[in-house]
Structures are given as structure tokens and as C-alpha cells.
Amino acid sequence: MTHNDPTHHDPTHHDPTHNDPTHHDAVRAADPTEFFTYQHPDEYFPDWRGFYQYALRRRADVREGFAHELDIKYGSDPHQLLNVYHPTGVTGAPVIGYFHGGRWREGHPACYDHFADPWVRAGAVFVSCGYRLDPHTIADAVDDAVSAVAWIAANADRYGGDPNRITVAGHSSGGHLAAMATMTDWAPPVPAGTVVGAVCMSAPVDLRSRLVPDAERVSPALRITRAPASVVVSFGDPEPNKRSEDDHYLTDQGKLLAKALADAGLPATTVSLGPADHVATAAAFADPTSPLFAAAHTAVFGPSQDP
């Protein structure tokens, strides 16, 4: 279960299928140089290339500092990966399932492993989740999010986590997946009481303007049927990302999700981060000085614990 566990798959061990995405059970490599944002930095306000470079440097520190299990397969596709970081010598810890962003076309769990640092220090189990990306559909990604949450619920106790204290979190497209998995009737929910929180950061929640397949079906703001007991919705105001897009798009989408929840009688805690670009609104989740971290901490640990 940890980095000393002999049953744990060692990603450094030579395996000819390890980086072969055509192999059914391959493990996808973490290579941000393949990402659109990395290759086209001039199209974006934030420094995505710098973010990914920093993330992989920090990942080494997090691996050194915390017990972990990497490249866990929750499905046969190379993208269906989980990385788990956890405190040691604990039981009943809250669990965070985190879904990365990337417009459903890029990203990797390893590029967000460093977000585990403040959460594991605080006493939570942190699971960084991957999912199928383009050319797979957004619906495929939603199915994966549901499957990943189910895997977390079934395996949380292996890492000292409480399967009845799961918070599902995500940024951007990952925030969309968090909303779809915890707030809609897309799939039967995991047993009642299992998912107690959701943190949806800068999430596009009405996809009709994006001209994606089945846009209404994959728009969580249009199909709210339930929600965990504690929900946090966050965004920058404004929140610039791609230069060709409206800086208030993600701001408006966050407000739309908060309104949809309120209209359904499921109010959320809304956190406006003020003027913040799309990298900053992601990084805030792992910044203990951020108001987003404070709100998310309450969702993860409950109101009785201060961050």
C-alpha cells in the first residue's frame, strides 16, 4: 500500500507496455510536453508550462515525504489511474478524490500529486484521479469519475481512510466531473453517507455553448438532483485562461452552479477568489492561506476543525 509495499507496482521497473497507450492494460506516462497548453503558451494568460514543470518537481518532494501508492488501475484503459497519498498510523481519516482539469483533453494525476501535501499533513487521504481524455467523450470521462469514486469508497480503509467521509473535488473539467458524479442522476450514487462533500472549482457546468456532443446530458447545472451535505463552489472574478475566451466565462459558470443548487434547495458555500487566473484558482486548493482551502477544509474535516 505504501512505497515500501512489495506488492505495489514500481513505475520505474522496465515494462515494455508501460508507456504504450495502445496496450490495453498500459499505464499512461506523465508527460506534459504533449499537452496543448504546454505546446501553445502564447494562447493562454496563465503560465501552464511553468505550472506543469513546477508540479513534477514538487511531486518528487511529496513522494519522498508521504506514504503513497502510484499508478493504481481502476480500469483497463491507460488513463484510468489513481495515485494515493496518505498519513500513516491513522484510521478513519477523511478522503479527498481529486480530478484534474485540462478541457477533457489533457492532464495527468501525477501533475497534481503535489496538491496532496497540505491535505495529508492535515490528516486526510488524497487520491489524485485520472480519466479518459479526448478522443474519448465527455460522457466517458463522467463514467470514469463515477468509477473512480466507487473505487475510493471500496478501498479507502486500506490507506487509513473512512469510506463514509469522502469529498470529491476537481478543478475546471475536473470540477465538472465532480459535479456530475455527486450532484446528478448520471449513475446510482455510492451508498448513502459515503460522499459527504464536493468542491467544484472553476467548473464549466452548462456545456451547451461549447458545442460538445450530448451537451445537455453532460451539463450538471441542468440536471441537479442531489448533493453531498457540504458543497463548495469557487471561481476567480474575473478568471482569465485562454486569450480568445471571455475572462468571466468561468466566473459565470460558477455562479450558475451555485444558483442551480440553491434552486434545488441544496445551497453551497461560494468562494470568489477575486481576480485570479485559471492556474491560480487551481493552486488555491493546496494553499492553506487561501479562502478556498479554508472552505474546502470545512467540507473535508467538518466545521469543528480549523485549518
- Note down pLDDT in tens along the chain; length 307 residues: 443 332 333 332 333 333 443 344 678 899 999 999 999 999 999 999 999 999 999 999 999 999 999 999 999 999 999 999 999 999 999 999 999 999 999 999 999 999 999 999 999 999 999 999 999 999 999 999 999 999 999 999 999 999 999 999 999 999 999 999 999 999 988 887 899 999 999 999 999 999 898 999 999 999 999 999 999 999 999 999 999 999 999 999 999 999 999 999 999 999 999 999 999 999 999 999 999 999 999 999 998 776 7
Q: Which of 30, 49, 46 is nearest to 38 (CA)?
A: 49
Set of cell numbers at residue 2: 505504501
Set of cell numbers at residue 84: 494515493
**Is pTM beyond 0.85 here?**
yes
Set of cell numbers at residue 148: 473512480
Task: Count Cβ atoms below 10 Å from residue 191 Cβ, excluding itself.
Answer: 11
pLDDT in tens, 30-89: 999 999 999 999 999 999 999 999 999 999 999 999 999 999 999 999 999 999 999 999
Tell me the sheet residues that pair with 235. Answer: 272
Q: Report d(CA 84, CA 68) in Å as an integer.
A: 5
Let me know: does 27 contact 18? Beta carbons within 8 Å: yes
Q: Which amino acid is at 147?
A: S
CA 190 to chain centre: 18
Task: Count Cβ atoms below 10 Å from residue 36 Cβ, excluding itself.
Answer: 14
